[in-house]
Structure formats: structure tokens, C-alpha cells
Chains A and B, each alone.
Chain A
Amino acid sequence: MMPPVSYATGACKVFSLDYANMLESAPLFARAALTTLKISTAGIALALIIGLACAFLLYLRIPLAGRPVRAYIELSRNTPLLVQLFLLHFGLKVDAMPCSVAALAFLGGGYMAEALRGGLEAVERAQIESALSLGLSRWQTLCFVILPQALIVAVPALGANVIFLLKETSVVSVVAVTDIVAVAKDLISLYYETTEALIMLVLVYLVLLLPICLAIRHLERRVKHVAFGN
């Protein structure tokens, strides 16, 4: 499988990076990273809203809502983001940016709904009765008693979803969004700066993802302190 090649030249190429070139491409990557962040922030925020709405509809057993909501969750979780993007952009002619955000929200909504529903179901239903017996309204019970506890339970799953969606955003270049991957791909195919472009690609993603991963882990650890159990 491995074609015969001199390792010496390979090693040599590693050390003969064109640093000036990498520096030059930095602003391009920075702008692209901003685009990636914009899409993921908007997509994840919308996904959370959709997820919360779906989770509530299922948890409160709203009549007639169950089937469509479950169908949506299954559709979004069992199809790839890339195909969703193709369908939206080329099939339904949605512009690149709104289409990226919409596809991410469509995908993420299903995952967030499952995470939040899991959190809601983990709160004992008897807590509802005890809140009602104090005279709280149904809405107050949901807001002040059930939802906070559900969120605490759901934090690890929600955090995992956020990281998953951030990484999924890396495919939006297929609908001609100039994101990090698109910049790297251009540098590779147009200028043959393969090694430099790949190193920048990894670096930019590390700078983007590492702090967020660490922040989410920190949050998980803090939330663990608010342990449960009667």
C-alpha cells in the first residue's frame, strides 16, 4: 500500500515550511474563523430554542404535538448535516449563510431536544405535585422547579452537543461559505501550500475548540457539585 519514497525528503519538507506564507494567510483564516463562529453561534442558539420547544411539547404531552415532534427529532438525528445542506442550498435554493445556520439549527434541534427531554424526565414527577400543592401555577412550576433541575441534569449532554455542532460547522464550505476549511482548501488547490495550510487549519481549530471544550468541562464539574438524591 505504501509507495516507495525517500523519508529524507519528506522530513526535509516538514522543516522547510514557508513561515512568511503562513503569516500571510493568518488574516484569511481569522476572518474565516469569525464566519465559522457566527454560523455556529446562531445555529446552536436556534438549536437550543427548537430543542427546548420540542422537549416541552413532549414532556407536557401536548396533544397532537407528539408525533410531528418525534418525527422531526428522528429526521434530524438520522441524516447527515452535509446532505441537509445540499438539500436546502441546491434543492430549495436557500442562500449559503442562512442555509448553513438553518441546517445546523435543524440538526442541532433534534439533539438538543433529546438532551433536554432526558433532563426533564430525570426530575421526579412528584416534584410537580409538591410545587402545585404550594399554590404555584403550572408555568411557575415548570420555570422555577422543573426546568432548573432538568438543566442541571442535562448539562453534560448539552455540552457534548455544543462541541459536536461546532465541529459539524466545518462542512459549510460545501455551500460556498468561506469558512476555515474553505480557506485551507483554496490554499491547497490554488497555491499548493498544502503543509502550511493544514498546519494553519489544525491550529485555528485548536484555538477555537480547546477553550470551549475546557470551559464546558469546567461547567460540568461545577454542576456536578449540585448533586441530587433525596
Chain B
Amino acid sequence: MSKILSVTGLSKSFGEHRVLDDISFCLEERQVLTIIGASGCGKSTLLRMINGLETIDGGEIHFDGQTLGAHTDWRQVRAQIGMVFQSYELFNHLSVLDNVTLAPIRVQKKKRREAEELAAGLLARVGLADKVKAFPRQLSGGQKQRVAIARALAMQPRIMLFDEITASLDPEMSQEVCHTLLELAETRMTMIVVTHEMGFAQAIGDELIFLDEGRIVERGHPDDFFAAPQTERARRFLKRFEFHKGDRK
């Protein structure tokens, strides 16, 4: 296995507020890293920094042998790192197919025919073969999110970043999207998954990072983490997801 992404001593502040503090980790090819933590712990900021959507205040990100920063050709990096957002951000004026083919045609200069064949294949893979001609407004939230995944995959990225992609979906749709991701993990796609769904985090991850107040508090195999969290903070965090009859007083 070879290292594709490594983050060392990364930090980020918004004004006075320190969002990320001394974050370091490595991502091997074909590995799935899940990141969990309370809202506002810096998970999303971390992903956005890897995709050049936030500037780097301190520390370094290395991707495929190059150091990322202000002088990086982000277009070329982003073409290799796909990202999916919580709010889908489909292009509402384009059909599902055109949403998926836009970047391959404009960025990779693929022929339309070729791009459309690729897109049709990807849409079939995420279970939306029949929605190729539909417009975003005609889709459910879960379907939109699967289109967004296909759109990012169409660039044939080396890494995929998922930023709480099930957070605005109801449980049923969230299920669909989780399954799409699990299938993607089966194909040994390299990915970083930020999520609120603990069961899913455990199922999909090869490695797990628990972030709290901008710092990595715990890391390890998901099974170990959920079976026996080592730190008090992690235990407290996981307890929030448990409810008992006695909680109602």
C-alpha cells in the first residue's frame, strides 16, 4: 500500500476561534478513513482544506508527492480529489446527465459521447439509470445526493471526500445513500467519510478518527473504538447516541 495523502500539524483559525489544531494523519491508497465528532469540531473544515476551499494556516498537506498551499494549481488537484457536500449542490439548470458530464467535458476535455457513456454507467451504478433525463427539482433528496456522488466519480478521482452527506436526509433516504457508499468502498475507492451516523461509520471505515474541539482525541480501528473507547471525551460523545427508558424523568 502506498501513501496518497498525508496531513501533518494542520491548523486553522477563524478569527480568534481555533477550528483545527495540530491535525496529523495519513491516508493509504484504497483505505477508507471515517471522521466523527460533535458539530463544530472542525471535521468539515478539514475536508474543505484538503480541497482548497479554505486556506491553510499552519502545517502541511501532501497529496501524491506535492505539497498543497497557496501556490498549488488547485484545479488540477480538485480534478483528482472528488468532494460531495451535505447540501448536494446539484446544478439546478442542468439535467442529471449534464450535471455528471459537465466537468469531464469542460475540465478533462472528453468528447460528449464518451462522457455521456461514462455518466450513464455511473448513474446506473448508483441506481438512477431511469433518471438520466430528469432535472434536479424532480428528484428526492436521496436521489440528488446519489447524483452528486456520480458527478464527483465521473472525474475518476483518486480520493473521494464525503462531508456529512446524509445529514439533511430522512432515515430512509439516508439508508440509500449509505448503501451507495458501502458499495463504493467495496470497489476499494480511497475515501474520507465525515459522518454523524455511528453505525455507518463503523461499517465503512478501515480507520477512524475522533475529533473534538479541533484536535484528534482518538484514532484506531472503528470496531475497537466503538467497543472500547479509550478516552473520557469519546465515551461521553458516544453516550449521546444512547437513550434509555430511565432518561425520561
Is A in direct contact with B (CB under 8 Å) within the complex?
Answer: yes
Q: Which of B89, B92, B93, B108 contacts A129 (CB 8 A)?
A: B89
Q: Which of B52, B79, B89 contacts A127 (CB 8 A)?
A: B89
Q: Which residues of B contact A127 (CB under 8 A)?
A: 89, 91
Determine how close the nearest CB of chain A comes to the CB of B76; give it in whole angstroms. Answer: 7
Complex: how many Å from CA A163 to CA B55? 46
Q: Which of B78, B93, B137, B144 contacts A149 (CB 8 A)?
A: B93
Closest Cβ neighbor of B138 among chain A residues: A227
Complex: how many Å from CA A228 to CA B94? 11
- For residue A9, CB closer than 8 A to chain B, the reply is no
A120-144 contact mask (Cβ, 8 Å, vs B): 1 or 0: 0000101101111111110010001
Known: A127-B91, A230-B144. A133 touches B51 (CB 8 A): yes
Known: A135-B76, A135-B79. A130 touches B89 (CB 8 A): yes
- For residue B83, CB closer than 8 A to chain A, the reply is yes
A193-230, CB < 8 A from B: 226-230
Complex: how many Å from CA A135 to CA B108? 9
Complex: how many Å from CA A135 to CA B51? 10
Complex: how many Å from CA A227 to CA B139? 12
Q: How many chain A residues touch B (Cβ–Cβ < 8 Å)?
A: 23
Closest Cβ neighbor of A145 among chain B residues: B91
Q: Which of A124, A126, A136, A229 contacts B107 (CB 8 A)?
A: A136
Closest Cβ neighbor of A138 among chain B residues: B75
Q: Which residues of B contact A229 (CB under 8 A)?
A: 92, 137
Complex: how many Å from CA A137 to CA B107? 8
CB <8 Å contact, B78 and A130? no
B89-116 contact mask (Cβ, 8 Å, vs A): 1 or 0: 1111100000000110011100000000
Determine how close the nearest CB of chain A comes to the CB of B144; give it in whole angstroms. Answer: 7
Total cross-chain contacts (CB, 8 A): 77
CB <8 Å contact, A133 and B82? yes
Closest Cβ neighbor of A228 among chain B residues: B92
Determine how close the nearest CB of chain A comes to the CB of B127; give it in whole angstroms. Answer: 20
Q: Which residues of A contact B48 (CB under 8 A)?
A: 129
CB <8 Å contact, B89 and A135? no
- For residue B126, CB closer than 8 A to chain A, the reply is no
Closest Cβ neighbor of B154 among chain A residues: A134
CB <8 Å contact, B82 and A136? no
Complex: how many Å from CA A145 to CA B51? 19
Q: Which of B52, B85, B88, B103 contacts A136 (CB 8 A)?
A: B103
CB <8 Å contact, A144 and B102? yes
- For residue B211, CB closer than 8 A to chain A, the reply is no
CB <8 Å contact, A226 and B89? no
Q: Which residues of B contact A228 (CB under 8 A)?
A: 92, 137
CB <8 Å contact, A134 and B103? yes
CB <8 Å contact, A226 and B93? yes
Complex: how many Å from CA A140 to CA B85? 20
Q: Which residues of B contact A148 (CB under 8 A)?
A: 93
A81-122, CB < 8 A from B: none
Q: List 29 A-B contacts (CB under 8 A).
A: A129-B53, A129-B85, A129-B89, A130-B83, A131-B91, A133-B51, A133-B53, A134-B79, A134-B82, A134-B152, A134-B155, A135-B76, A135-B78, A135-B155, A136-B102, A136-B106, A140-B106, A140-B107, A144-B106, A149-B91, A149-B92, A152-B93, A227-B137, A228-B92, A228-B137, A229-B92, A229-B137, A230-B136, A230-B144
- Taking Cβ atoms with an 8 Å cutoff, the residues of A that contact B are 124, 126-127, 129-137, 140, 144-145, 148-149, 152, 226-230
Q: Which 7 A-B pairs have the closest CB atoms?
A: A135-B79, A130-B89, A134-B103, A133-B83, A135-B107, A135-B78, A148-B93
Known A127-B89, A145-B91, A228-B137; further 17 A-B contacts with Cβ < 8 A: A124-B87, A126-B85, A129-B48, A129-B89, A132-B52, A133-B83, A133-B85, A133-B152, A134-B78, A134-B79, A134-B82, A135-B79, A135-B108, A144-B102, A149-B92, A226-B93, A230-B90
